Structure 1
Amino acid sequence: MFLKTFGWSFAVTIVALVVAFLYGGPQALILCIILGILEVSLSFDNAVVNARILERMNAFWQKMFLSVGIIIAVFGMRILFPLLIVGVTAGLNPVDAISLAMEKGDPETPGSYGYVLHEAHPQIAAFGGMFLLMLFLDFILAQRDIKWIRILEVPLAKVGKLDSASLILGMIALALTGAVAGEKQGIVLFSGLLGMITYFLVNGLGSLFDVGEDDVIDAVGAESGGRSGPSAPAKLAGKAAFMLFLYLEVIDASFSFDGVIGAFAITSDPIIIALGLGFIGAMFVRSLTVFLVREGTLDEFEYLDHGAHWAVGALAIILLITIEIPVNEVITGLIGVIFIGAALIGSVLRNRRAAAEVKKPQESANTTI
């Protein structure tokens, strides 16, 4: 199962490292490795959130996520997105934007590719930060039987009983962000509002479609020669799965903002960035997502959902903070890893306590007999 899921990721990594070495020698090879590690460390929470969405899709759409989805992630977000931002910000046509990118100018030098992209960071961070913040708020304000950080999640669940609580808190966060954005206030407020609108639009698109019998299939039955039953989980297909796929791609894109911008602190070479972030990092994140789905890890370790969404909330706040105050990418990555790691440990301890409680009555019964 491990090699089947991660085989393509390892193969693509080897090819990417060879290309990096041939392109720029040992230095390019090392930078490519660093960027790949950076992307994976920043995206642990991404993989968990993606997995919870992906497990609702049938096998076909899971494969689409690994094929079409990886094309969007690599070429769309890691290559075309920076070029688009630079072109719009600097008023360049696509050819000139590519030429500027290939000059590999110093990000500290005005007019260079890295510099122009860095100047566009406030609007990128506002859009991505508000999109991810709404994702976090909708999760953490929901009424759930299972709670992880009870001291925070219990009162937040009470706040969630208020109508439109996530929208109200999101607007407050956007207003506070705009208040400290100085001369960038206008573009920050507009971009943040656009991020919120995008979240609600994509999140609500599924309601525009009637999900009938043709849209829900018995994935277990289909994969086992037609076997089905009440315990077999129904998974989305057709129009419903397509809308969920779009939602998944927007979430995935929002997670990649910090990695794309942060990469320019390591190198301004777009080829190395594409190889490290895209071909290595994005491939491993997708493989990790599919692995979590196929192994049923999220159901076995029930706090992982919570840990991932707390990491999402932290990332959203960090993105909003970076509009005015730089935050090292290592800190961003470590926060996500810490939340996921703590949730995993908490899940293991919870499972052990549950197993012990089941075992005690059995031991008592055996003693009585």
Structure 2
Amino acid sequence: MQNIQYKYKPENLRESDPTKFKVENLKNEEMLLNLGPQHPSTHGVLRLEVISDGELIKDLVPHLGYLHRCFEKHAENLPFNQIIPFVDRLDYVASMNNEHAYVMGVEKMLGIENTLPKRIEYIRVLVAELNRIASHFIAIGTYALDIGASTPFLWLNRDRETILRMLEWVSGARMLYNYIWIGGLFYDLPIGFEEKCGEFVAYLKPKLVELQQIVIDNHIFIQRTANVGVLNLDLAINYGCTGPVLRGSGLKHDLRRVDGYSVYPELDFDIPVGQGTVGKVGDCWDRNNVRVQECWESLKIIEQCLEKLNKDHKRTRDFDPQVFVPKKIRPQKMDFYARAENSKGELGFFFRTDGRSDIPVRLKCRACSFHNLSVLPELSRGMMLADLIAIIGSLDFVMGEVDR
């Protein structure tokens, strides 16, 4: 490769090592490449500065602050109940899961988490698991598109669209719902929703079998993902990875089981983990296979919720999902942390209250995408540029909760 004459000297990429990444210090065989923030495979406004030796990645620096969502600063100026629409916009493809985590955190601060009717709890879990499937469909579909397959993306978006229409039927909104409220729900389920949801579950089961065949077990897909981006368990734990990224490395850690919140302890479902079936434990294939298997488990949860809602906790004329919604939310002075299992991992909220106001003094979001994305440089060193695209997609992050 010919020598490259650089006409400018950009600022250091890492303040901690002010000489390592200066362009003039690059060897003749190395190049400084910018991937994103407009590149489709970066899945949003993520910019990666890549030091490459031909097609080989020598080092990588992710730059995260390009979205400026400002969620945490907004939350310091709004009452607790008015923060829910902003929570929706963190991981905007799994808004119901965001709401569920945030609302349960506020309810625990208020001490009302065990006073809600079981119908409300089962409806919350039902819509959250529907949204979990929709989120995984986006992750798997866009991942297949990243590495060259367009058909799975179209098929999965077709079925995700059905879920979005069902959630719009419930809440009135397509993606940003404001449906799960502190102490209750915006509305009860529409009449006939349980039947339509049951029909969708029956429809989706053979579609998941097709998904396993055309994507996960596809020979080309295996060649592109097996033994690529291997994340060993120690590294995943040290970086704070959670969700399918952590479970893909072999650890059965799911907050729905570990913390046992809401009605999840009453439901029967398994926790899929990576097993190195076609490569090494913790590779890109394992992470995507875990997501597909989790879709099956979410269907099991949805079926059990529908059974409970149709038998033990039926709709009644006098049922009001807003009857336990507090008129004024004013927790005692405290520091409090609550967490739940989002589709991408542990979504946590730290609250600091002063005991006088209904506006939090501080609200900090522990975003699972941020921690999962932080391990990207470790997975990329020594890999090929084409493998970098496969590694990025396998982490399934949303920049809305990375740049908060």
TM-score range, shorter chain: under 0.3
- Flag the structure with higher helix content: 1
Between 1 and 2, higher relative CO (CA 8 Å, sep ≥ 6) is seen in: 1
- Flag the structure with higher strand content: 2
TM-score by length of 1: 0.26
